Amino acid sequence: MAKAKIVKSKVVDIKIKSDDNLQAKRTYSNYVEVHHTPWDFSLRFSDAPPIYDKREIKSDGSYSVPLVKEIVIPVSLVPGLIEALKKQLEKFNKDYGKTENAKSNK
């Protein structure tokens, strides 16, 4: 019979950083919808092409665009994501000038 060795656990702070070697295919999106459940948030990204034919617009005024990616994250990541986006937007505005707000579909 083997004896198990008991080791005291230690809390270690780890900084997670994305690997710069791009493994996933990069996807372009110019439209995003945000939805939530009690457990997670969904970010649904689409690439909305220009409307060349008004007949593509439905009678209710909607225009369907292809979903290119859906990312689902736990609620616990949302505050950090919002903070990171705010910091990057501030940096962008400082480097390139203030951005215009896109219309929101509420």
Quote the strand ranges of the chain, DSSP E.
31-36, 40-46, 67-74
Q: Return the SS3 of 11.
A: coil
Model confidence pLDDT, tens digit, residues 69-106: 999 999 999 999 999 999 999 999 999 988 877 665 55
Sequence spans of domains, the chain: 31-96
Model confidence pLDDT, tens digit, residues 12-30: 888 877 777 767 788 899 9
What value does the mean pLDDT take over residues 41-63? Answer: 92
Q: Is the pTM higher than 0.75? A: no
Note the pLDDT of residue 21.
74
